[in-house]
């Protein structure tokens, strides 16, 4: 069942309203859905839970018909009424809904007046003069639409690392268990832990390549076979993801693994290094005059070139080959070294689990501490806590902590950074907390200078332990807001403010490309899952991979410290940390 969230409920109601409008239905009916969407959006409390339990009676603005539909949607993940309605329109029409900044009114005008029902048609129409002449549109709107179409194309066919990982591991396991498979791996951007990827590159060592490519193309998830040969195949899965398989001999496997892991830039640099040593390197083997080094594992290829083995996450030709040559590669942080984590939510704001449930789950993950940072009052859409509720939560946490010996919940807040850089709570209250994560959740469109100063002002606050999801990006959906990252990193170093590595697969923010610079200025990171449920504590695994990609070591990661070390650290004034 698809994950039902407040956002998905709101989105479905809004889409229904839009479809009814496109059909020319009675405006009262349409308005009921739009109002309903707004009520759901702003409801203070667990609206999803209440809908799933059929307990929506008495909520102003949600009538009988809507209650029924929300119940069906929240309890089954589907809504028949909505699916029937969708079926009345060309499926390509829904592409228009994905364009940033194109609202229901405009979509309706385009559909009614110009019969536009796909992004392709829209693009063509933009290139002519039809749209600019439409009432309510203009040259500027056309420009914006073209921009949105470009953004969508840029993101098409790419997937977030976290959204493909469970499936990738399932498929790999299936290949590994095949009796004719000797060794197996997923190479490519997946192995390098890129935050988004185009396709998965499977690799197997086998004596029966043709049998394996057939086995692969017969996977039940395969929707389309793009190409199939005796030693390689390429398929598209039912979720749209492309997967390649290469079946090689056991001798060739280390070379294929190295080659197909990439990156291309890393490979080019490695090959030219090999050439200087009189060796030619390709995806099958080394060739050359004189002694050819013996290779059984991937590491032997690096050793043959007088390099330390380079962790796949680092293979972007950003200095890793030079470092490997000088035996100066970082000892990268590992998931198992994390002792706790900071940024997590509970049902007090927009999370799904209680303090107790989150504490139990954290212990099951082997953590010694879990920081609770529910939203603050300005994030009303996320049911943020006001001062009274936060004080109450601090007390609840004290009571719960009395039950633990080697574990503790930490009292924090994900406090909103307001438009001018001031915080959503007064310092007196922040001083009562163990720590505080400061994040931006509204007014994303400030000019770079203002946005940067807004974050700097927050960092200058003595009580701000760390910045949350510093650029606000949503991968493949929303660009980062305009901010000068050099200045942010410098200020973090000066003010001893930690920068979070938010592990939510949609975010993975701060971007991995900045961490090397940050750590060289002694800026600490905290690997935070931003968990809104016990399941989401697993996001830590993505964070650890991205931290490695950013060259981070154990000592660069705040939450590798033990509980007692953290408690001592948190008691220090910021300037002494």
* Contacts of 189 by beta carbon, 8 Å cutoff, 6+ apart: 197, 198, 262, 263
Determine the Cα–Cα distance for residues 218 and 235; give it in Å rounded to an integer.
Answer: 10
C-alpha to C-alpha distance for 471 and 481, rounded to whole angstroms: 6
320: contact with ligand DGT by CB under 6 A: no
Least distance CB 441 / Zn ion (angstroms): 6
Q: Other CB atoms closer than 10 Å to residue 335's CB: what's the count?
A: 15
Pairwise CA distance, residues 494 & 347, whole Å:
35
Nearer Cβ to Ca ion (184/189): 189
Structure tokens at 394: 């601090």
Q: Compute the least distance from the CB of residue 252 to ligand DGT, in Å.
A: 14
- Examine residue 528 and tell whether it contacts Zn ion (CB under 5 A): no
Q: Which stretch binds ligand DGT (CB under 6 A): 28-36, 167-175, 197-205, 566-574?
A: 197-205
Asked whether position 188 contacts ligand DGT by CB under 6 A, the answer is: yes
| Binding-site member from 199, 424, 434, 530 for Ca ion (CB under 5 A) | 199
Cβ at position 469, least distance to Zn ion in Å: 6
DSSP codes, 200-218: EEEEEEES-HHHHHHHHHT
Rounded Cα gap, residues 467 and 72, in angstroms: 39
CB of 260 to Ca ion, least distance (A): 8
- Residue 267: which of Zn ion, ligand DGT, Ca ion, none does it interact with, CB under 5 to 8 A by kind? ligand DGT
Stretch of 208-216, 242-250, 556-564, 568-576 lying at the interface with Ca ion (CB under 5 A): 242-250
| CA-to-CA dists, residue 360 to 305, 336, 354, 409, 532, angstroms | 48, 18, 10, 10, 15
CA distance 226 to 245: 12
Q: Return the residue of 198, 207, 398, 449 that touches ligand DGT, per CB under 6 A.
A: 198
User: What is the rounded CA–CA span in Å between residue 408 and residue 159?
Assistant: 36
Q: Which long-range contacts (CB under 8 A, 24 or more apart) does 113-121 make?
A: 117/89, 117/90, 117/92, 117/93, 118/90, 118/92, 118/93, 119/92, 119/95, 119/149, 119/152, 120/92
Query: What tokens does 331 get?
Result: 């000892």
Question: CB 160 → Zn ion: shortest distance, Å?
Answer: 17
The span of 17-25, 51-59, 165-173, 237-245 binding Ca ion (CB under 5 A) equals 237-245
| 201 touching Ca ion, by CB under 5 A | yes
Task: Report how far residue 79's alpha carbon sits from residue 65's, in angstroms, rounded to the nearest whole number.
Answer: 12
Nearer to Zn ion, 439 or 536 (CB): 439
Q: Does 439 bind Zn ion (CB under 5 A)?
A: yes
Per-residue 3-state assignment (H helix, E strand, C coil) for 325-354: HCCCCCCECCHHHCCEECCECCCCCCCCCC
Is 503 in contact with 549 (CB distance < 8 Å)? no
Binding-site partner at residue 439 among Ca ion, Zn ion, ligand DGT, none, CB < 5 to 8 Å by type: Zn ion
Short-list 349, 338, 404, CA closest to 539 = 338
Q: Using the structure block, give the residue that is written with the tokens 């490979």.
A: 267
Least distance (Å) between residue 5 CB and Zn ion? 14
CB of 276 within 8 A of CB of 234?
no
Cα 358 to Cα 396: distance, rounded to the nearest angstrom: 13
Minimum CB distance to Zn ion smaller for 378 or for 439: 439
Residue 306 touches which member of Zn ion, ligand DGT, Ca ion, none, C-beta under 5-8 Å by kind = none
Q: What mask of x and - would describe binding to Ca ion in positions 489 to 508, judged by CB under 5 A?
A: --------------------
Kindly tell me which of 194 and 352 has the beta carbon lying closer to ligand DGT: 194
Site for ligand DGT in 252-311 (CB under 6 A): 259-260, 262-264, 267-268
Pick between residue 264 and residue 426 the one whose CB is nearest to ligand DGT: 264
Measured CA to CA in angstroms, residue 220 lies from 179, 224, 238, 475 at distances of: 19, 11, 9, 29
262 binds Ca ion (CB under 5 A): no
**Among 53-61, 107-115, 191-199, 561-569, which window interacts with ligand DGT (CB under 6 A)?**
191-199
Please report whether residue 324 would count as binding ligand DGT according to CB under 6 A: no
**Could you say whether residue 201 binds ligand DGT (CB under 6 A)?**
yes
Q: Which of 36, 104, 162, 188 binds Ca ion (CB under 5 A)?
A: 188
Output the smallest distance, CB 490 to ligand DGT, in A: 32
Q: Which residue is nearest to ligand DGT (CB)?
A: 262
Residue whose CB is less far from Ca ion, 188 or 543:
188
72, 199, 298, 511: residue in contact with ligand DGT (rule CB under 6 A): 199
Give the phi and the psi of residue 478 in degrees, each rounded to 5. -130, 130
Closer CB to ligand DGT, residue 16 or residue 324?
324
Q: Is 65 in the site for ligand DGT (CB under 6 A)?
A: no
Angle at 184 between CA 179 and CA 187, to 5 degrees: 155
Contact set with ligand DGT (CB under 6 A): 188-189, 194, 197-199, 201, 259-260, 262-264, 267-268
Contact set with Ca ion (CB under 5 A): 188-189, 199, 201, 244
Contact set with Zn ion (CB under 5 A): 439
């Amino acid at each position: 069942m698809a994950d039902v969230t407040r956002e998905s409920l709101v989105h479905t109601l809004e889409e229904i309203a839009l479809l009814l409008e496109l059909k020319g239905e009675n405006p009262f009916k349409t308005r009921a859905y739009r109002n309903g969407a707004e009520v759901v959006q702003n409801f203070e409390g667990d609206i999803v839970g209440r809908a799933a339990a059929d307990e929506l009676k008495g909520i102003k603005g949600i009538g009988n018909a809507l209650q029924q539909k929300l119940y069906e949607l929240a309890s089954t993940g589907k809504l028949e009424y909505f699916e029937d309605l969708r079926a009345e329109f060309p499926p390509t029409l829904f592409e228009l809904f994905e364009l940033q900044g194109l609202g229901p009114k405009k979509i309706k005008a385009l559909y009614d007046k110009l019969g536009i029902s796909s992004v392709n048609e829209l693009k063509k129409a933009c290139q002519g003069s039809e749209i600019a002449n439409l009432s309510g549109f203009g040259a500027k709107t056309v420009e914006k639409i073209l921009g949105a179409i470009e953004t969508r194309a840029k993101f098409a066919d790419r997937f977030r690392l976290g959204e493909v990982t469970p499936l990738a591991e399932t498929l790999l396991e299936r290949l590994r268990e095949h009796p004719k498979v000797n060794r197996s791996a997923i190479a490519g951007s997946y192995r390098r832990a890129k935050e988004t990827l185009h396709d998965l590159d499977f690799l197997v060592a086998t004596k029966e390549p043709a049998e394996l490519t057939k086995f692969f193309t017969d996977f039940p998830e395969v929707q389309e076979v793009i190409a199939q040969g005796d030693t390689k195949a390429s398929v598209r899965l039912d979720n749209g993801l492309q997967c390649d398989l290469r079946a090689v001999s056991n001798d060739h496997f280390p070379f294929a693994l190295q080659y197909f892991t990439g990156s291309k830039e890393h490979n080019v640099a490695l090959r030219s290094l090999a050439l200087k040593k009189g060796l030619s390197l390709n995806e099958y083997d080394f060739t050359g005059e004189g002694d050819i080094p013996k290779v059984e594992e991937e590491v032997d290829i690096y050793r043959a070139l007088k390099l330390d083995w380079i962790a796949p996450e680092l293979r972007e030709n950003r200095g890793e080959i030079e470092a490997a040559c000088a035996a100066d590669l970082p000892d990268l942080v590992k998931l198992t070294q994390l002792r706790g984590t900071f940024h997590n939510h509970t049902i007090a704001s927009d999370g799904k689990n209680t303090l107790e449930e989150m504490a139990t789950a954290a212990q099951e993950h082997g953590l010694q501490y879990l920081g609770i940072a529910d939203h603050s009052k300005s994030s009303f859409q996320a049911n943020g806590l006001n001062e009274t509720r936060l004080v109450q939560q601090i007390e609840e946490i004290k009571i719960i902590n009395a039950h633990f010996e080697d574990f503790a919940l930490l009292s924090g807040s994900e406090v909103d950074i307001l438009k001018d850089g001031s915080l959503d709570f007064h310092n007196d209250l922040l001083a009562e907390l163990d720590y505080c994560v400061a994040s931006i959740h509204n007014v994303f469109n400030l000019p770079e200078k203002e946005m940067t100063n807004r974050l700097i002002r927050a960092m200058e606050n003595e009580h701000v332990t760390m910045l949350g999801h510093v650029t606000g990006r949503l991968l493949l959906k929303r660009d980062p807001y305009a901010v000068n990252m050099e200045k942010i990193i410098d200020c973090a170093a000066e003010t001893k403010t930690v920068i979070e590595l938010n592990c939510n697969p949609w975010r993975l923010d701060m971007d991995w490309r900045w961490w090397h610079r940050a750590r060289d200025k002694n800026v600490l990171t905290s690997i935070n899952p931003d968990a809104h449920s016990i399941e989401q504590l697993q996001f830590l695994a993505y964070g650890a991979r991205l931290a490695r990609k950013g060259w981070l070591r154990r000592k660069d990661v705040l939450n590798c410290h033990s509980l007692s070390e953290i408690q001592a650290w948190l008691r220090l004034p910021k300037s002494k940390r």
